[in-house]
Structure 1
Amino acid sequence: MSETPVIILTGAGRGIGFAILKYLLALTNPPNILATSRNITALEPLAAAHENLEVVSVDFAAPSSELKSIIPTAIVNAAVSKWGRIDALLLNHGVLDPLAKVDVAELEDWEANYRVNFFSNVQLIKNALPDLRKTNGRVVLVSSGASSLYFTGWGAYGSSKAALNHLNSTLALEEPTVTTVAIAPGIVDTDMQAALRGVHGKVMSSGENSFFHSVKESGGLVKPEDVGAVLANLALQVEKSLSGKYLNWDDEVLSSYRAKL
């Protein structure tokens, strides 16, 4: 079994996930990484250049019956087969849609959101736990401030992230040898924010829409590279005292995780 840490990183194809991946690959002693994305085009050149990187195309919006076979075989078993261990899950994948008021939203769209944002995380953690117990491993969940803040049309997204926070605390209680933490990444300069200022702005109130435009115009968006470094460092060595906590990425208690390890 290799002693080099093994990290499973989801949602690695763009935004925060891509920033996390580039940070990890640039370390002096990088971990072995199995990175997933629905579209792996941007990841394939990195995989060709780094022997410690394996990339897998996974669509977490697939029906639950498919996820129950895809996740253990294509992700968990693939990492263990290649490197003999799993040290951390960094679960970053997620979707905002449907952005719609409750009175017009379709139940099927809510179900699709929960498959991506919540149920796939439950399945991945469940399948990885036997290996995480062996390594006293770590689970880093990318949550959202929307789990406790409320915007028009955000019911599916916000509630799925609130469920993720509860899962985080439950896992900390049930798995004392595994350290788990949920992190709100702030308002990050990604495609999601661009969509909020564009097409999704029609759903929100004028005041809510103006808020997201003002954050962009004032330079208040978080850089993916900044929050990505914190998330990557937590996956590498989160301290046990943080297990079960839901924190903002720039919380003072995380100050030591902002510097490159």
Structure 2
Amino acid sequence: MTKATESEGLVVVTGASTGVGAATAKELARRGFHVLAGVRRESDGVDLRAPGVEPVILDITDDDHIAALVARIDDDPQGRPLRALVNNAGLPGAGPVEATPLSEWRRIFDVNFFGHLALTQALIPALVRAGGRVVNISSLNGKISLAGYGPYSSSKFALEAMSDALRNELAPYGVDVVVVEPGGIKTAMAGRGTTDLSRLSAGMNQEQTERYGHLMKALPDHIAAFTAAGMTSEAAALGIAKAVTDRKPRTRYILGGAANFLIRASRFLPDRVLDRLTTSDLRKHYPS
């Protein structure tokens, strides 16, 4: 994408209320795009609003919100094309496979996968008309899953698979589909996930507690340590902006040292060796 086309284009960024989404919206506006920044509440958009950043109410699980966004793009006052969709909205989700209720699995998938799918389906016509781009924000956990991370990782694995299919389906029409795989990022999302873990632990039966009690105590510390060692939202936004603007984008962008090491190692290490590596890191946080 050239500077000329950037200055004439729209970009949708979901989950832009805070953190990576907000930083990405501001970075893309700085580069000349007009960003439709999805927020859940009017109050979330107050601090976000700036030249080139237009907050829009967008819950990606709400069909009416999606329809309103499609209408906003189709009826853009300046006739600007949709250059990119950045699927960034997401929920944390940790807990043992056995002990995490199906309702929680469905809640996580509803946002982390089905919401992105619904919005992408709705915006594909506009993206095809413009030769635009889909940028799906996955995770290190979209490539590697470990004990206690099953719900979140599963939703990101699904997003990765959908991205691969969509990339091949839209390539003949000039639409690139790119996946961004960050490692730890210093955001408030990890704290929300820790609160959910406390509720989940309280609802486990005695047998589940005996099986997973040490894991449940280790997960908050492991998540906190991984987050603290991660990059800032602004650094992640630079990587996402590169995925949006590179003239010939890669299919995947890995962000952060830990993600680079583990994702690349997973391509060569046997599963059992990788299991020992990740489990060893997690066990550092088990209670004595």
**Whole-angstrom CA distance in 1 between matches of 2:59 and 2:43:** 14
2:163 aligned residue: 168
Pairwise CA RMSD? 2.7
Q: What stretches of structure 1 move > 6 A for 4+ residues in a row?
A: none
Contact 1:88 1:139 in 2 (8 A): yes
Q: 1:178: which partner in 2?
A: 175
TM-score w.r.t. length of structure 2: 0.72
1:79 partnered with 2:73: yes
Letter of the structure 2 residue corresponding to residue 94 of structure 1: G
How far the C-alpha of 1:57 sits from its partner, in A, is 1.8
1:165–1:246 contact (8 Å) kept in structure 2: no
How far apart, in 2, do the equivalents of 1:208 and 1:104 lie?
A: 14
State whether residues 88 and 236 of structure 1, in contact with CA within 8 Å, keep that contact through their aligned partners in structure 2. no
Aligned residue runs from structure 1 range 11-22, under 5 A? 11-22=15-26
Q: Given that residues 24 and 232 in structure 1 are in contact (C-alpha distance below 8 angstroms), is that contact kept between their aligned partners in structure 2? A: yes
Give yes or no for the alignment of 1:156 onto 2:162. no
Which of 1 and 2 has greater Rg? 2
Counterpart for residue 23 of structure 1: 27
TM-score (norm 1): 0.79
Unaligned stretches of 5+ residues in structure 2: 1-5, 202-212, 261-288
The one-letter code sitting in structure 1 at the alignment partner of 2:83 is D
Change (3 A) 1:40 1:184: farther
Q: Distance in 2 between matches of 1:36 and 1:173?
A: 27
What is the aligned-residue identity percentage? Answer: 25
- Which of 84, 87, 90 is 1:91 aligned to? 87
Secondary structure, in 3 states, of the residue corresponding to 1:87? strand
Give the whole-Å Cα distance in 1 for the aligned partners of 2:43 and 2:108. 24
Decide which moves more: 116-125 or 33-42: 33-42
Match of 2:269 in 1: none
Q: Distance in 1 between matches of 2:193 and 2:118?
A: 29
Segments of 5+ residues of structure 1 without an aligned counterpart are: 255-261
CA distance in 2, matches of 1:109, 1:246: 29
Return the alpha-carbon distance in structure 1 between the equivalents of residues 170 and 161 of structure 2.
14
Q: Distance in 2 between matches of 1:222 and 1:232?
A: 15
What is the aligned counterpart of 2:244 among 210, 230, 235?
235
**8 Å contact from structure 2 (residues 148, 219) kept in 1:** no
In the TM superposition, residue 205 of structure 1 has moved relative to its aligned partner by 5.1
